[in-house]
Amino acid sequence: MDMVIRPLGKRIREKVATLVVWTAAATVIVPFCWMMSDVLWNGWPHLTLEFLVSPPLDAGRDGGIGPILVSTLLIVGICLAVAIPLGIGSALFLSEFTRQQHRLGRLVRISLDVLAGVPSIVFGLFGNALFCQILGLGFSILSGGLTLACMVLPILIRTVEESFRAVSFDQRLAAAALGFSHHTTIRSVLFPAALPGVVVGTILGLGRAMAETAALIFTSGYVDRMPSSLMDSGRALAVHIYDLAMNVPGGNANAYAGALMLISLLLIINLSASRIAARWTPSYRVPA
Amino acid sequence: MTAPHDGLEPWPPRSHFPAHEPVSESAVHIKTEHLEVSYHGRPALEHVNLILRRGAITALIGPSGCGKSSLLMSLNRLTDIIPGCRVSGTLQIDRLDVLAPDTDLLHLRRTVGMVFQKPAVFPFSIRKNLELPLREHGIRDRPVLSATIEQGLRQVGLWDEVKDRLDHPAQALSGGQQQRLCLARALVLSPEILLLDEPCSALDPISSGIVEDLIAGLRGRYTIVIVTHNLAQARRLADHVAFFWAFGGIGRLVEQGPARDMFESPKEALTAAYLSGIRG
């Protein structure tokens, strides 16, 4: 401990600085807690098993969100089924088959960074034009899922590419020194090492997809019936919440319950994905 | 004898390259003539005429940046995967022309094993670290795999330490154990040549001692080429020594010979200066 007594002015300045930092932190935390408790407080009483499985009645004021949950999961499922293989493939292409300075690779990277920042409404209009009209898929769960895939791909590709690049050159040298082919190196060395990055990229994409409204209104549509095939129109949860909150007087209670469900789903997905990643890559556990 | 110089001027003169010393044909395992390694068109190592004897431990010594590691990596064509790296000249392992474009790299890298400065174990179990290279080289029979893995681990004295946790992550091992695992991973492929790039420099003194003893124990069974900055280690381990120096940023072989001659009566003044700690 230093024995020097600091001058008063300096002590006041330190107190002020501390106060500013704490205020900044509180400004971030308070709205978050407020929002969460608001959703929890207003949504919890309505969130019953009955609500989760029954179809919406009276434009959603009554009844539940059964068909909407099914549509949401189908849309997100299609999105991931398309985005994950395409994303990993493109990321591999960028990190393993083009050099960092290569013109084609650079062009792809710049396009992806621009795409990642494009507003989702633009993706909605694009999806409507391409999938609904040109490809003739109409307002359907398939169109919605494919549009979401286009939307999450940029972020997924860049995250996965970074995790491939992060595999150290030492490991690549070691693999080559053992005579591994490029194929084996990718499959057996790069892939396991990059898996946590793949999971993180997927979660980021999933979060964006689950919460999406604008891109889906124009592609998967508004219909709140239980879908009977992927070619049916289906309403996603986020669209439902938006509709109840903005267009349906008296829909607030169920909008809250829907929002609570959406947040819980995202939390569950996040937690289970990181659990799975930890199990698949035992080496990242702290040694006992 | 030439006086020690500032290391900037090309020396010896470009016309003079240390020639191969007379060695019987059967004793020669690896032979280079005018080997040159360059990165993005800039030479890092040139005019290397080196002979590596069968079954002997040869230490490559010299200051950092004199091309020792580049030389080592050209011996198993690892230079292929370094962007912008080119190797020219002749490089023969027995009758095999290593630098020929149609050289079978899988075969070459099975014949020439390598261990790096930092233990580069893969992020999976101890067993899989050893099994993967064996599978890549076509060994798939379960009993053969387990027997080879046990033998490899015994060879590096790791078997008793890890036999009960073969399926534990290799990265949970200590640094010294990881380096021994890397050595075992190279040995299970039954190579003829082992390249060791400063294998002890990232280890604590005790682990370093264990690894060094292991290397000494392999003498005679493998042709070993070791890069080391630890002159005491070179003196303890090496049968032969090759001394490199960077002239104007380009590495060249200054002198090679039996370890005792090199340490006790080097022919070149520069070698003497480096070995006695005056230069380098």
B134-174 confidence digits (pLDDT tens): 998 888 999 999 999 999 999 998 999 999 999 998 988 99
**Pairs of CB atoms within 8 A across A/B:** 78
* Chain A residues closer than 8 Å to B169 by CB: 282-283, 285, 287
Beta carbons of A252 and A245 less than 8 angstroms apart: yes
Interchain contact, B189 vs A179, CB within 8 Å: yes
Pairing status of strand B42-53 against strand B240-247: unpaired
Name the pairing type of β-strands B57-61 and B240-247. parallel
Query: B178, B170 in Cβ contact below 8 A?
Result: yes
* Cα A17 from Cα A143, distance rounded (Å): 53
Tell me the backbone φ, ψ of residue A166, rounded to 5 degrees: -75, -15
CB proximity list for B24: less than 8 A, separation 6 or greater = none
The Cα A116–Cα A206 span in angstroms is: 14
Check A178 against B118: CB less than 8 A apart: no
Which residues on B lie below 8 Å from A175 (Cβ)? 122
What pLDDT is stored for residue B5 in this prediction?
A: 47
CA count, 13 A, side-chain hemisphere, A15: 7
How long, in residues, is chain A? 288
Q: For all residues of chain A together, what is the average pLDDT?
A: 86
Q: What is the pLDDT of residue A286?
A: 38
Check CB contact under 8 Å for A172 and B81: yes
pLDDT greater than 80 at residue A85: yes
pLDDT in tens, A5-31: 667 888 899 999 999 999 999 999 999
User: Per-residue confidence at B277, pLDDT binned at 50, 70, 90?
Assistant: confident
- For B47, which DSSP code? E
Residue that has been written with the tokens 């949504």 in this structure? A43
Residues of B in contact with A287 (CB under 8 A): 169, 171-172
Residues from chain B contacting residue A285 (CB–CB below 8 Å):
169, 172
| Residues on chain A touching B104 (C-beta within 8 angstroms) | none
Peptide bond into B12 cis (omega under 30): yes
pLDDT tens column, B73-128: 999 999 998 888 999 999 999 989 999 999 999 899 999 999 999 998 988 899 99
The H or E element that residue A282 is part of is none
Q: Please write the tens of the pLDDT for every residue from A208-260.
A: 888 888 889 889 888 888 888 888 888 888 999 999 888 888 888 899 999 99
Task: Tell if the CB–CB gap between A188 and B132 is shorter than 8 Å.
Answer: yes
Contact B34, B89 (CB under 8 A): yes
State yes or no: pLDDT of B204 exceeds 50.
yes
- Pick from B109, B123, B170: which is nearest to A178 by CB? B109
Q: Of A179, A181, A283, which has the smallest distance from its Cβ to B123's Cβ?
A: A283
| Percentage of chain A modeled with pLDDT above 70 | 93
pLDDT score of A4? 65
In this predicted model, what pLDDT tens digit does every residue of B239-276 receive, in sequence order?
Answer: 999 999 998 889 999 999 999 999 998 888 889 889 88
pLDDT attached to residue A199 = 83
B78, B122, B169: residue with CB nearest A177: B78
Assign B14 a pLDDT band (cuts: 50, 70, 90): very low
String of DSSP letters for A3-65: -PPPPHHHHHHHHHHHHHHHHHHHHHHHHHHHHHHHHHHHHGGG--HHHHHSPEEGGGTEE--
Write down the pLDDT at residue A248: 85
Residue type, A244: L
Give residue A3's pLDDT. Answer: 56
H/E stretch holding B132 reads helix B126-136
Asked which of A152-156, A251-255, B20-24, B97-101 is least confident by mean pLDDT, the reply is B20-24
What pLDDT is stored for residue B1 in this prediction? 40
Residue B86 burial (C-beta neighbours within 10 Å; 0-12, 13-18, 19+) = middle
* Angstrom distance (rounded) from CA B194 to CA A162: 34
ipTM of model: 0.84
B250 DSSP β-pair partners: B247
Nearest CB partner across the interface for A176, out of B81, B110, B125:
B81
Would you state the structure tokens that stand for residue B253, as one six-digit string? 């072989």
- Both tokens of A161, joined, read 């590419």
Average pLDDT for A189-200: 81
Note whether B252 and B46 are within 8 A (CB): yes
Query: Above 80 in pLDDT, residue A284?
Result: no
Give the pLDDT mean for A49-54. Answer: 87
Rounded to the nearest angstrom, the minimum Cα separation between B22 and chain A is 31
- pLDDT above 90: percentage of residues in chain A: 34
Q: Which of B82, B116, B124 is most worth mutating to test chain A (most A CB atoms within 10 A of its CB)?
A: B124
Would you state the pLDDT for residue B2? 43
Shortest CA distance from B74: residue in chain A? A177
CA dist B206 and B154 (Å) reads 19
